[in-house]
Structure 1
Amino acid sequence: MSSVPGSPNAPVEIAFFDVDETLITVKSMFRFLEFHYRERGLPPSAYEAAAGSLRRRSAAGVSRLVTNREYYRLYADRPREELFAHGRAWFDTEVAGGSLLHPPAVSALRRHQERGALIALVSGSFRPCLEPLAGLLGADEILCSEPEYADGRCTGRVDHPVIGVEKGRLARALMRRHAVSPARAAAYGDHASDLDLLLSVGHPVAVGGDMVLGAHVARVGGATLPGAVRAPDVSRSAPWRRTPVR
């Protein structure tokens, strides 16, 4: 069992970690999309149009649940093997840049591991981005958005984007499967959309200065960690090449 920052005697058997701007310093979905388009030989304007549309809709008040579904439609008809190959190449490029991981959150994860806790990554991102990170950190579970694949190709459909309340639902389901009480679980997140995840556990940790999460941890006696500083986009300066699909 492990403990959370600020609660040295609190036993934790499962620790849940949001990924983007919690464990890593970037938004994986946008960084991967740009890399993926480059690997396909598409012009920068293709990425700028796709990302710009999603950001404008978000700024206009469209929910993250809706824009998450719209994001995965961008991969419709792409081969599954291509997406996973690009995910590995993208991750290797980011790690080589030296500033992808957020040290305070990774240090907390390592402390939980050392004390025997199961580690779960919880993210609206998808496995091509998350499996390399889980491998690097030794995470036990990935709870993420799962685009549908048919005949080896992505359909662009996602039934249950892992956004907002879905994060909390999946965390509670994992605790039930392992017969772990919420009182013996911790969760880390950086954004108000992680609130339900933090509400699902006895030891919530707010990463950065989000006011919604900050108010929650202050109210229940949780903890805080410093926020992430966004890493430079090293993939833009990397030599262009297409990642072979094996």
Structure 2
Amino acid sequence: MVCVDTSDAAQQTPQTSTPTNKRDNAHLTVTLAEGLAPAVVTVTGPDRPGVTADFFRALADHDTQLLDVEQAVFRGNLNLAAYIGYRPTDGLILRESLDSVLGGTGMNVTVDVSEEVQQARSRSTHAVVVLGDPVTAEHISAIGRVLADHGANIDGIRGIADYPVTGLELKITVANPAPGGSSELREALAEIAHGSGVDIAIQRAGLANKTKRLICFDVDSTLIQQEVIELLAAHAGREAEVAAVTERAMRGELDFAESLHERVKALAGLDASVIDEVSRAVQLTPGARTTIRTLKRLGYRTGAVSGGFVQVLEPLARELGLDFYRANTLEIVDGKLTGRVIGQVIDREVKAESLKEFAWSNGITLNQTVAVGDGANDIAMLSVAGLGIAFNAKPALREVADATVNHPFLDEVLFMLGISREEIDTADLADGTYRRVPLEHR
């Protein structure tokens, strides 16, 4: 069936319209060949082989010019649109041809010759990623209202994840895209995220968002699920005492270096073999392997900088294939832990300097870096990175982060970088690493 736009503008005969052979605005310059008029032809219906070919054959029979094309298949339904230039004298014949070719396939075809079709396709200024388990229509409705209230338009939406959370990416155009122009919008979206249980990240669209080349992870409670020093302290029977100090340090209530020395004292006299036991007990955060593997496929330099201990981090770094790592060193004398660390303490400032050093040594600028962490010790590192992501973080870190993750899956970092689950799974299937672990909470 062919449905022709019946608006007043669409009912104008092509001869009375005033085609613009060259359309120039802030977004796009489109040039129509001499004597052609613009139109948008849209085809919707059940997808099947040959529909696209038939569509373009009908257009080709009338020597139409293609100016823009977009096609998408969603759950078996095709949506195909073409912005074309056509000879005004062929308008009715073109419509009849499309009807003849596609009318019997169950497809709906609309031809729009109104003035609005000459408006250029918008170039989105920002991308908003929404992640949750679940994501509901109410979430998107609330986000849509906030965007509208701040003069932002939604240009397109696509699904980017169905596991381990649902992920949607909204391409939007912000009314004032200048640096800082979206700050109020960011704050409003953060309020929705805080009160709704979904994670929301907003970033600039375009090439700047695709040039990230280095990512640096915190380790304890970020790359791994535990706090290593607490695992070590359990062997000395002082886990609760050390955990309380750790919690205060991560909230920013204690100087990190001071708290580290205090906690390490509790390990004095332990046999060095406990380090190997703890290394075997460490559990990666769900999605960690997938995240590192995917980033390395994309050419990222990957690394970790930790306020924990290099004796535990080093074998983990080798296993994951990290390009760089840095952590504190436990002093061992005669096979026993002395209760001291040797060398420079990896505090918040050293973490930031480490990120800078890793970037500089790889010829990467700071705006091309990503940092992921969970505690106050990561504040400086996330602040200097091009994109700082707070992962199940303490309030002190969430306040300075560009984006926050509040679900226990490191895969969300990939989604915030615009990498879809489909792309991840396709690559994993190709090299035999694909697996989906059943999620108990679902």
Report what 1:108 is aligned to: 291
Deviation at 1:49, TM superposition (A): 7.8
Report what 2:5 is aligned to: none
Identical amino acids, percent of aligned pairs: 23
- Measure the CA separation in 1 of the matches of 2:345 and 2:217: 17
Matched, 1:173 2:345: no
Report what 1:97 is aligned to: none
Whether the 8 Å contact between 2:392 and 2:404 is mirrored in structure 1 is yes
Listed as ranges, the matches of 1:115-154 within 5 Å are 115-148=298-331
- Measure the CA separation in 2 of the matches of 1:193 and 1:60: 7
Listed as ranges, the matches of 1:1-246 within 5 Å are 9-35=209-235, 37=236, 44=237, 47-48=238-239, 51=242, 54=245, 61-75=253-267, 83=272, 85-94=273-282, 100-148=283-331, 156-217=340-401, 222-228=402-408
Whether the 8 Å contact between 2:328 and 2:341 is mirrored in structure 1 is no
Three-state SS of the structure 2 residue aligned to 1:180 is coil
The one-letter code sitting in structure 1 at the alignment partner of 2:225 is T
Q: Specify whether residues 158 and 12 from structure 1 end up closer, same or farther in structure 2 by C-alpha distance, changes over 3 A only.
A: same
The one-letter code sitting in structure 2 at the alignment partner of 1:124 is G
Larger relative contact order (Cα-Cα within 8 Å, sequence gap ≥ 6) = 1
Alignment TM-score, normalising by the size of structure 1: 0.68
Structure 1 gaps of 5+ residues are: 38-43, 95-99, 230-246
- Measure the CA separation in 1 of the matches of 2:228 and 2:243: 16
The one-letter code sitting in structure 2 at the alignment partner of 1:90 is V
- Measure the CA separation in 2 of the matches of 1:22 and 1:53: 18
Deviation at 1:21, TM superposition (A): 1.0
The one-letter code sitting in structure 2 at the alignment partner of 1:30 is E
Deviation at 1:149, TM superposition (A): 5.6
Q: Specify whether residues 195 and 102 from structure 1 end up closer, same or farther in structure 2 by C-alpha distance, changes over 3 A only.
A: same
Alignment TM-score, normalising by the size of structure 2: 0.40
Report what 1:241 is aligned to: none
Whether the 8 Å contact between 1:187 and 1:198 is mirrored in structure 2 is yes
- Measure the CA separation in 1 of the matches of 2:407 and 2:219: 12
Structure 2 gaps of 5+ residues are: 1-128, 130-200, 410-442
Q: Specify whether residues 57 and 24 from structure 1 end up closer, same or farther in structure 2 by C-alpha distance, changes over 3 A only.
A: closer
- Measure the CA separation in 2 of the matches of 1:212 and 1:62: 13
Deviation at 1:157, TM superposition (A): 3.8
Three-state SS of the structure 2 residue aligned to 1:16 is strand
- Measure the CA separation in 1 of the matches of 2:308 and 2:330: 10
Deviation at 1:125, TM superposition (A): 0.6
Q: Radius of gyration: which is bigger?
A: 2
**Higher fraction of strand:** 2
